[in-house]
Amino acid sequence: MRDISRRGLLGMGVGAAAAIGAASCSAPPGSDQAQDPAAKASEQAKAKLIGDGSTADAGQQPNQPPKPEPLEWGQKPPQFVIFSWDGAGEVGNGLFPRFRKIARDHGARMTFFLSGIYLLPESKKRLYEPPNNPVGASDIGYLTDDHIKSTLRNLREAWFEGHEVGTHFNGHFCQGSGSVGHWTPSDWRSEIEQAISFVTEWRTNSGFTDVEPLPFDYRKELVGGRTPCLLGQDNMLPVARKLGWRYDASSPGGLQMWPKKRQGVWDLPLQQMPFPGHSFEVLSMDYNILANQSKNTTRGRSSNYSYWRKQATESYIQGFQRAYETNRAPFFVGNHFEQWNGGIYMDAVEEAIKHMADERHKDVRLVSFRQFVDWLDVQDPKILAELRRLNVGEKWKASA
């Protein structure tokens, strides 16, 4: 495992956690459009089943932002903030629906990086053949049948609410000879195809008949992901490009600067952000804050929770404010549905979202990765190049 004492770079899934013991450009804040029963029934009636009925084509995704428009020269860019969730499994702690509600309350859209095996029953784990690892192996385990059903229901609702479903791949192997860091492009191709199959064939694999299909064609929906522990991007990107993916969020240790493409794919890294009380910065992910607070345990001393919660909250807020007040670089935040150190990081994310969505902050867009690259793709490359010249904390000027 990499050193996590300072600026740790590990990203972990739900199962891994258990193992360690605004004005938006989308629907207005408080919008209940996605919850309207008549609208939902209409969408469901239009859905055309795909394959075994695990997924369906429900048409154009609702609750999307207006068509993006290119910036004019001298026009100040919006402040984009993208919250993403690795694993995206609902394991009975209510965190998936909690953050769906928070998103509705603040007009936010997010990206859920689904681990494919979270839709595969453990009884069928031998269907998973992870590269360079034993058949059925997984470093994040498998969900119970009830938790698979809960995950499916939350994914379905999340899509209707306008969120994106990406991938966190499958078994989350970060150490040893089987680590994703050692995988070849052919290994990644196998892993991706298996992840897609677990999403598109969950009904066959589970036999569940009491859960409605996911309302999208996953092969078309899937345009990006984040690798386990932020490892293996170099050999994964050629496969992503061939599959037509538009972005990858696996780079470790990025800076708060405007992004560029790598191997033809938008490279959208987790970023170094201020860490109150320290001279160094921390990666914009809950686990990396934890690694610098309670080190190798997810259950540190409870007497520290109040301070750590405030420190984590301020870290997110300072990262946002630095970009908002200077170069307007997009701010990328990665999370897990976890209850580490008494759930303080979930509270910190919630408070940070409330701060960012406050009406005092003009032209803030809380969007998914997919929605952000939709915006990037219509921009004048020369204007984006000018924005990329702005360093961290360098103030945007109209002459840029």
Query: Helix, strand or coil for residue 218?
Result: helix
Query: Tell me, what amino acid is at 250?
Result: S
- Two structure tokens written together for 130: 């992870």
C-alpha–C-alpha distance, residues 309 and 34, integer Å: 32
Question: For residue 193, how many C-alpha atoms fall within 13 Å in the half-sphere facing its CB?
Answer: 11
- Output helix, strand, coil percentages for the chain, rounded to the nearest 5: 40, 10, 50
- Two structure tokens written together for 5: 């004492």
Task: Using alpha carbons, select from 71, 164, 41 the residue that is nearest to residue 112.
Answer: 164
Q: What percent of the chain has pLDDT over 70?
A: 88
Q: What is the pLDDT of residue 33?
A: 44
Across 6-39, b (16+ Cβ under 10 Å) vs e yields ebbbbbbbbbbbeeeebbbbbbebebebbeeeee
Q: What percent of the chain has pLDDT over 90?
A: 87
Q: What is the largest CA-CA distance in the chain?
A: 61
Residue 315 within a domain: yes
Residue 247 within a domain: yes
C-alpha–C-alpha distance, residues 259 and 376, integer Å: 9
The continuous run of DSSP H or E covering 350 comes out as helix 344-356
Residue 339 within a domain: yes
pLDDT tens by residue, 67-114 = 999 999 999 999 999 999 999 999 999 999 999 999 999 999 999 999
Enter the pTM of the model.
Answer: 0.90
In this prediction, residues 135-139 reach a mean pLDDT of 98
The continuous run of DSSP H or E covering 364 comes out as strand 364-366
pLDDT tens by residue, 322-343 = 999 999 999 999 999 999 999 9
Residue 28 within a domain: no
C-alpha–C-alpha distance, residues 86 and 89, integer Å: 9
Q: Which domain holds residue 300?
A: 73-388
In this prediction, residues 23-33 reach a mean pLDDT of 38
C-alpha–C-alpha distance, residues 276 and 2, integer Å: 23
- Two structure tokens written together for 259: 């992004």
Residue 29 within a domain: no
User: 323, 391 in Cβ contact below 8 A?
Assistant: no
C-alpha–C-alpha distance, residues 394 and 382, integer Å: 19
Instruction: Identify the CATH number of the domain in which residue 293 sits.
Output: 3.20.20.370
Give the chain's domain count.
1
User: 111, 117 in Cβ contact below 8 A?
Assistant: no
Residue 22 within a domain: no
Residue that is written with structure tokens 């607070």 in the block:
293
- Tell me the β-bridge partners of 81: 331, 366
Question: For residue 126, how many C-alpha atoms fall within 13 Å in the half-sphere facing its CB?
Answer: 1
Task: Give the model's confidence band at 8: pLDDT under 50 very low, under 70 low, under 90 confident, else very high.
Answer: very low
User: 199, 63 in Cβ contact below 8 A?
Assistant: no
C-alpha–C-alpha distance, residues 392 and 14, integer Å: 32
Residue 15 within a domain: no
pLDDT tens by residue, 220-265 = 999 999 999 999 999 999 999 999 999 999 998 899 999 999 999 9
C-alpha–C-alpha distance, residues 177 and 30, integer Å: 48
Residue 340 within a domain: yes
C-alpha–C-alpha distance, residues 2 and 299, integer Å: 20
C-alpha–C-alpha distance, residues 124 and 105, integer Å: 38
Q: What is the pLDDT of residue 23?
A: 32
- Two structure tokens written together for 103: 């998103």
Q: What is the pLDDT of residue 45?
A: 52
